[in-house]
Amino acid sequence: MGQLLDDASVAERVLQHIDNGTTDLSETSWLEPVENYRSRDRFQAELELLRRLPVPFCPSASLPDAGCYVARTAAGTPIVVVRDETGTVRGFRNACRHRGMQVAQGSGCARFFTCSYHGWTYRLDGGLHHIPHQEGFPGLDANDHSLVPVTVTERHGLVFVTQDEPVNSGALNGLDGIAPIIDTSQRVFAASESESDVNWKLNLESNLEGYHIRTTHPESFYPYGYDNLNVVETFGNNARVTFPFRRIEKLRDTPPGKRDVSGKLTYVYHLFPNVIIAVLSSHTAMSISEPVSPTQTRFVSYRLTNAASEDSVIDLERAKRDAEFVASGSAQEDAVAVSAIQQGLGSGANDHFTFGKFEKAIVHFHQCLTDSLQRL
């Protein structure tokens, strides 16, 4: 599907599913070998793929001004992105051209990047600006010692980084047909990193189906939502899963063109291969699953305010409360379930996982991942 449904059409499909006791279905099921969650060779191939795809690195809102930067490890490589004096976002391998020390850590705002080892200094465009005691490096050409760039694309309120020669268009495939996922009015109010002893694909999968709602979230999400009732759309390698709340029933008597779904559903976007963006009632959550090993993942998380409309203002405190509620409820329950699945991988009980027709977005993910890996 090249174009996502508008809000009114999503609401209409949800109401039809409620009336009929149905949900969106995949055309096929998928058998995924358990070894693909454990194999070192498979893990290395996935890392190579992540380096050869345009992958969301951070929201544009985390780089609001010239000099603002974000530095972190992506697919095993230290990367720094920065907004330069012209407003353009640039990206570099985060390694000094002298001895390889990282020139930036975390996030912040700077006029230059200075290596903390020997003081070599670089401009925001990556060019070498200063070498202390330069007389000790006779004949050194500064133009040959700039920070090494990576390909950066800024679209849909996101900064995408491609580290190596691209194998396909990754998450960018399909974005032309949809509205921006993160609006220019949205602001980052929290950012964090954490690690968990799970394979990177397991957490993604937990976000992409509503088949588990009643059993996994009996007191946190299920009282407000539905079990196994979703609208699932695909666009290129990506997907959007709609999780409706029971209060969407209030829209039944509202003319379709005037139906406002705000606070009545959650849109969960999967940007291929490793990024989840959830547009919740009062905030937007972005989670990047960075593979560390076959059994370890670093989660890079951003919390943003929702987009402001003409008749609303950004309520930061409400956004923070919403983020705390999700983090302490359904998100924690998903984390417990994913950890248990990881422990069961080595039990010998399964040689494959069976993803059925209720798990359409996961089937799509594995189809696209398998196809992309075959192109390496």
Task: Give the CATH number of the domain where residue 133 resides.
Answer: 2.102.10.10
Helix (H, G, I), strand (E, B) or coil at 163: coil
Q: Do 153 and 283 have their domain in common?
A: no
Considering its fold, how many domains does the chain have in total?
Answer: 2
| Whole-number pLDDT of residue 148 | 98
Give me 328's structure tokens: 């302490």
Task: Pick the more confident residue, 312 or 221.
Answer: 221
Structure tokens belonging to residue 355: 């993803």
pLDDT in tens, 230-255: 999 999 999 999 999 999 999 999 99
Cα dihedral 322, 325, 327, 333 in deg (nearest 10): -140
141: confidence class by pLDDT, cuts 50, 70, 90: very high
Bridge partners for 296 per DSSP: 293
Q: Are 210 and 232 in contact (CB under 8 A)?
A: no
Cβ atoms within 10 A of the Cβ of 234, count?
23
Regarding whether 28 and 127 lie in a shared domain, the answer is no
Work out the average pLDDT over 302-310. 84
Rounded CA separation 128/93 (Å):
14
Is 61 in the same domain as 72? yes
| pLDDT at position 170 | 85
Q: How confident is the model at residue 1 (pLDDT cuts 50, 70, 90)?
A: very low
Mark which of 111, 142, 165 sits at the end of a domain. 165
Q: Do 278 and 329 share a domain, yes or no?
A: yes
**pLDDT, averaged across the chain:** 95
**How does pLDDT run across 347-366, given as a tens digit for each residue?**
999 999 999 999 999 999 99
Q: Is the pLDDT of residue 9 over 70?
A: yes
- Residue 9's SS3 state is helix
One domain, residues 198 and 237: yes
Examine the pLDDT at 172 and tell me if it is beyond 70.
yes
3-state DSSP assignment of residue 214: helix
Residue 67 corresponds to which tokens in the numbers above? 């000099």
Statement to judge: residues 84 and 36 lie in one domain: no
114, 144, 165 - which closes a domain: 165
What is the extent of the structural domain holding 219?
1-53+168-376
Q: Which range (71-80, 174-183, 234-243) has the least confidence?
A: 174-183
Token pair for residue 230?
Answer: 């979703």
Q: What is the pLDDT of residues 313-338, one digit of tens each?
A: 667 888 898 888 888 777 899 999 99
List the alpha helices (DSSP H) in 131-265.
Answer: 200-206, 213-216
* Residue 330: per-residue pLDDT: 75
Q: Quick one: tokens of 206?
A: 């937990």
CATH code, domain with 199? 3.90.380.10
152, 173: one domain: no
Q: What pLDDT does residue 283 have?
A: 94
- HEC states along 128-188? EEECCCHHHCCCCCHHHHCCCEEEEEEECCEEEEECCCCCCCHHHCCHHHCCCCCCCCCCE
Share of the chain above pLDDT 70, in %: 98
Q: How do residues 42-75 score in pLDDT, each as one tens digit?
A: 999 999 999 999 999 999 999 999 999 999 999 9
* Residue 341 and residue 218 in one domain: yes
| Domain end position, chosen among 133, 149, 165 | 165
Task: Give the pLDDT confidence score for residue 344 in this predicted structure.
Answer: 96
* 75 and 36 belong to one structural domain: no
243 shares its domain with 313: yes
Q: Tell me the CA distances in angstroms from 155 to 161, 169, 374, one per residue in order.
A: 11, 13, 27
- Count of all residues that appear for the chain in the document: 376
C-alpha 38/C-alpha 345 separation (Å) is 8
43 and 68 part of one domain: no
Same domain, 184 and 158: no
Say if strands 275-279 and 283-293 run parallel, antiparallel, or are unpaired. Answer: antiparallel
- CA 99 to centroid of chain Cα atoms: 32
